[in-house]
Amino acid sequence: MAGRRRGSGTRVVVALCLLLVSLVGCGGRPATDRAEAEVQRLLDRRAAAVLDRDEAAYLRTGARDRFGNLGALPLADWSYRLTGLRRTGDTATAQAELRYRVRGYDRSPVSAGRTLSLSRDAEGRWYVEAERPAKGSAQQLWDQGEVSVVRGEHSLVLGVGQSEKALRSYAALADRAVPAVSRAWGGDWARHVVVLVPGSLTGMAGLLGSPASSYRGIAAVTTGETGARARAPADRIVVNPDAYGVLGDTGKQVVLTHETTHVATRAHTTAATPLWLSEGYADRVGYLGSGRSPSQAAPELSRAVSEGRAPRALPSDEDFGFSGDAGRLALAYESGWMACRMIAERWGEVALIDFYRAVGAHERRSGAVEGAMRDVLGTSLEEFTGQWREYLRAQFG
């Protein structure tokens, strides 16, 4: 009995060893790990080819894919980090994090999830068949076509399907917006902007990873990390050319200055900052010097007040939802703007900036506005709301 047990145990050990040999191979590493290492090296070579503008080296890694779309983009960094690999025989699907940095504009790399389809040749070498945005990740501008680039004094404008003349017009607007924002807010920000101009509303939605219906009628939005500090990557101002194109010259400038204000205030815009303040302040700076009266700049609010439908409270974050009613959205923006306008008129522009920063300095939303109103403006939220409602009646009544 004892001898038979030893023999059985020996056979089990031998079988396990043979199984491990088949999985590990000559290098002493599991086959999956070896494939992942090979694919990572492939992605490293592909990234180096992008940075070196070496099309021949890029083609040696697989499909030409989007290489031609990247030619004009001024890149400081471009790298892939393999995060997952699903292999079936000589084909595989890789999940990777793309990290890239635009030279002179991005302080830290921008990250994007990517999915790559791979195949292996008869000699066992992996190649890229195609690359696309990962599930749940937004498109990058070069996914939509060849990127054209125009440099302004304070701006970099990247476009797809746009003429050079059109892109230069965006750069001129951005170049006026940047110093205007610096005069209002101060100089503690990058003082330059990156503007993305896709070919259509659909392209804008693709860059934001949302349905086009969410942004219909929205001229532009700014992407970025709230509360981001010095090492955060640059924000992107993403334009909806369909809505932007129907604006007049003043409207176009107001929009670009508004979005540039978001870039400047990003480090002080946190989870504690309500949208009525962040959007209201951006509109405040956007309309400075425009010559627009309250009735001209806030027609929805003006109509509501004159009809006895004046809002009873400052707008909630939900009121700013892009997919909601257009009138409700306009009322929210206009209400926030008028609140910031009132602060600037009654307490001063410096107090408005101090109030904005004080709200953002709180760790959480609860109590942030109330505390900043008490410490900076010397009032309570209830008193402020009452004063704001009186201010609306005085302006629009």
pLDDT in tens, 46-85: 999 999 999 999 999 999 989 999 999 999 999 999 999 9
Tell whether 242 and 281 lie within a shared domain.
no
Supply the pLDDT for residue 341: 98
pLDDT digits (tens, 9 = 90+) for 109-144: 899 999 999 999 999 999 999 999 999 999 999 999
* pTM (two decimals): 0.88
Report the alpha-carbon distance of residue 291 to residue 301 in Å, rounded: 18
Tell whether 96 and 155 lie within a shared domain.
no
Instruction: Answer whether residue 227 is part of any domain.
Output: yes
In 152-177, which positions are buried (b, 16+ CB within 10 angstroms) versus exposed (e)? bebbbbbbbebeeebbebbbbbbbbb
Q: Is 95 in contact with 132 (CB distance < 8 Å)?
A: no
Q: Rounded to the nearest 5°, which phi and psi values hold at 377?
A: -100, -10
Instruction: Answer whether residue 249 is part of any domain.
Output: yes
Of 262, 288, 318, the residue at which a domain comes to its end is 262
pLDDT at 293 over 70: yes
Q: What is the CATH number of the domain that holds 180?
A: 3.30.2010.30
C-alpha count within 13 angstroms, C-beta hemisphere, residue 25:
8
CA gyration radius, the chain? 27
Instruction: Answer whether residue 53 is part of any domain.
Output: yes
Tell whether 152 and 249 lie within a shared domain.
yes
| 324 band by pLDDT with thresholds 50, 70 and 90 | low
The total of structural domains in the chain comes to: 3
Query: How many residues does this entry show for the chain?
Result: 397
Tell whether 178 and 115 lie within a shared domain.
no
Tokens of 163: 């003429």
Interacting residues of 397 by C-beta distance below 8 A, sequence separation 6+: 305, 306
Tokens of 22: 């088949």
Report the alpha-carbon distance of residue 173 to residue 298 in Å, rounded: 22
Report the alpha-carbon distance of residue 132 to residue 139 in Å, rounded: 8
Of 244, 262, 280, the residue at which a domain comes to its end is 262
Tell whether 285 and 246 lie within a shared domain.
no
Of 117, 137, 157, the residue at which a domain comes to its end is 137
Tell whether 154 and 96 lie within a shared domain.
no
The domain in which residue 148 lies consists of: 140-262
Supply the pLDDT for residue 235: 87
pLDDT digits (tens, 9 = 90+) for 42-51: 999 999 999 9
Tell whether 397 and 281 lie within a shared domain.
yes
Q: What is the CATH number of the domain that holds 34?
A: 3.10.450.50
